[in-house]
Chain A
Amino acid sequence: MKTDIILAGVGGQGILSIAAALGKAALDNNLNMKQAETHGMSQRGGDVQSFMRISDEEIFSDLIPKKGADLILSVEPMECLRYLPYLKEGGYVVTNKTPFINIPNYPEIEELEASIKALPNYVLIDADKIAKEEVGNGRAFNFVMLGAASPFIDIPFEYLEDGIRALFLKKGEDIVNMNIKALHAGRKFAEDNK
């Protein structure tokens, strides 16, 4: 198996917590993984991305080649489109619906959603809303997103649950359960809407 994922968002949105759970899931199950991320200047409200590669074979490059990604997982709708040159034919775009508007020339929301809906394979999910209403904590939106992407990631779902458990172990059972609930809520949405 081999899955190449581009995680996208805006600096400060926390895509790295998604990467951390995925990384833990891969490593604890003896899969190879590489995950390149952005630090420094662009973290200040700029566009950020992380290249996440998981495979049962040796992984060489830290970067994903163009047209190489199986999945673009974006926590912000405009950001998912920025990385389309990296998407494989038949690859999936899973994106959050809530825009992060910190620039004056942000596109019209209708136009933006139309672009996303024109893609052959996409899941457009309001992760913020699901996190608040179904999980009971807005901050869990990142793991709603991971759940929504999980059907397209070629590793068993239980690995992801274990990854979250390992990541939040120190923070207590309640936090673990909340994030796992978020994972399930996201997955359910994707299964119903893919």
Chain B
Amino acid sequence: MQKHLLLGVEAIAQGAIDAGISGVYAYPGTPSTEITEYIQESKIANKRDIHRRWAANEKTAMESALGMSYAGKRSLVCMKHVGLNVAADCFMNSAVTGSNGGIVVTVADDPSMHSSQNEQDSRVYGKFAQIPVLEPSNQQEAYECAKYAFELSETLGTPVLMRITTRLAHSRAGVEVGEAKLENELHLPSNPKQFILLPAIARKQYRLLLNKQEKFEEASENTGFNKYFEGKDKSLGIIACGIGYNYLMENFSSEECPYSVVKVSQYPLPRKMINKLAEECDKLLVLEEGYPVIEEFIKGYLEKENIIGRLDGTLSRDGELNPDMVRAALGFSCHTDAPTPELVAPRPPALCEGCSHRDVYTALNEVINTYGKGRVFSDIGCYTLGALPPYESIYTTVDMGASITMAKGATDAGLFPSVSVIGDSTFTHSGMTGLLDAVNEKTPITVIISDNESISMTGGQESSAKGRIESICEGLGVEKDHIRVLMPVPKNHDELCAVIKEEVEYKGVSVIIPRRVCIQKAARDAKKARVARAKAGK
């Protein structure tokens, strides 16, 4: 059969399309972005007109997807791990409502924080919500899991969480693709009260969820994604979760693995398999990418002392797994590798040459340094790189939208001035409500919405903010005279400095909008236009 060369995230997207989804809802975030982009580019998705536009944030995405499930159709939600914090309110409650049409929440974790502010493990959220979790180990399985997840969601009447990590998300392999299913017909839930979480109904729904737990575990025992491999050597038994299985097998690529192994790609944990392993083997090694979720869990119920993994230090407590770490955990001698020569300098990421954020930080530094350091609160996006030399302009980066509210809190505490730097898309994602708080209290903060008209860090997706930032600010109650728009280019440096200075001194809420399109996006758009012209010429 013809194999398609797909990233892990793309395999999930193709699996969801072939499962007959009627919509994908997502906000971009590395390493999850390309799931939605793949669906946006897909011929079949375009032909079926599957919903595929970006949402304003992960919460709105999750809610829309649940609405689609309510209406009986299949929906996919995608986000990075920290996005699930934003969507958590709806996510947790969706476990209680359960599903009508299949709903799959795909969350891409980023252990080692390649492009993130923490390395939280979404499997904990799965346990928290008490719903099934799938964790494919390779690209082919990612495709199969996506299709299966929708079946599972409809059979068991529950949302399903699909958890992947950076390495699978952004690694390509050949994937065999199967038949594409048709979309569901519109049909409302058979119980019209299923989605009304008034306490009296919620209590019933919650009991229903608790009663399903046994079925969830049964599904984990019988799924093809969890496997028990019998080994000859019983001194060690290995539980290998998700891509941890690959790193294990990598160490035995030339021979057979002598130990018994339970490969886990579906949760709740298949207890029977785990019990069998525990009974047969002297010691258990747990290989998991992320938190020691399983290790902690089985330590709680097995009453077995010989369990090793991330908790006892056999494997590093943080960071992603790799074949070398697993090698050491198996007790094999480590390779003595050649060191990297000393002259190799670190090459941290940086704002692009010609980027508008550079002009903003140059001006901001000039003004704010007259007041002293530590007064600029920032947010999540390319402009976070303003924390690094040569700018070193910002002092906080915590979560989407926190620049405005943290500046507010610091002002409430008496810090003056407090300036917030946030991007256009981050502003509409989670900044607007914080700005409303500041307006309601007339808190003297200066909010710089550095508007490059795109979601740049993740590859230039369309920003929900485009063309409406001034009207949003005005609508929230920012005074018109204190919404200042200007073009951040070197020749406007003095003007930008003067505006920042004026607004910092204003004793109320002011918003400065330096606006210039992302240079990467401008280059891509110019290239697209060239190609279009060339085609038209033919």
Residues in chain A within 8 A of chain B (CB atoms): 10-11, 19, 23-24, 27, 32-47, 51, 57, 59-68, 78-79, 81-87, 102-103, 105-107, 111-112, 115
Contacts and interface: CB of A to CB of B under 8 A. Distances in A.
Contact of B172 (A23, A60, A68, A84): A23
Interface residues of B, number: 49
B350 A46 contact: yes
B388 to A, nearest CB: 10
Contact of A45 (B338, B343, B349): B349
Contacts of A45: 347, 349-350, 352
B170 A67 contact: no
B385 interface: yes
Contacts of A84: 337-341
A107 B399 CA distance: 36
13 contacts: A32-B173, A36-B172, A37-B172, A40-B31, A42-B115, A45-B347, A61-B250, A61-B323, A62-B171, A64-B323, A84-B337, A103-B347, A111-B343
Contacts of B172: 19, 23, 33-37
The 6 closest A-B pairs by CB, nearest first: A40-B115, A40-B30, A46-B349, A36-B171, A61-B250, A85-B337
B365 interface: no
Nearest to A45: B350
Contact of A66 (B30, B335, B341): B335
Of A23, A63, A102, most B-chain CB atoms within 10 Å: A63
* Highest count of chain B CB atoms <10 Å: which of A23, A66, A115: A66
B322 interface: yes
Contacts of B322: 61, 63, 65
Interface of B: 3, 5, 30-31, 33-34, 114-115, 139, 167-168, 170-174, 243, 245-250, 253, 322-324, 327, 335, 337-341, 343-352, 382, 385, 457-459
* Chain B interface, DSSP helix/strand/loop, else mixed: loop
Given A40-B30, A41-B115, A63-B323, A112 B349 contact: no
From A47, A87, A112, name the one whose CB has the most chain B CB atoms within 10 angstroms.
Answer: A47
Contacts of A112: 343
A165 to B, nearest CB: 15
Nearest to B343: A107
Contact of B347 (A10, A23, A41, A87): A10
Given A33-B172, A33-B174, A60-B247, A46 B347 contact: yes
A81 B343 CA distance: 9
A39 B31 contact: yes
Contacts of A103: 345-348
A136 B279 CA distance: 68
A40 B349 CA distance: 10
Nearest to B247: A61
Given A60-B250, A66-B324, A35 B173 contact: yes
A67 B337 contact: yes
A38 B324 contact: no
A65 B457 contact: no
B207 to A, nearest CB: 42
Contacts of B341: 81, 84, 115
Contacts of A64: 323
A5 to B, nearest CB: 13
B349 A44 contact: yes
Given A61-B250, A81-B341, A103-B345, A34 B171 contact: yes
Nearest to B137: A60
A107 B347 contact: no
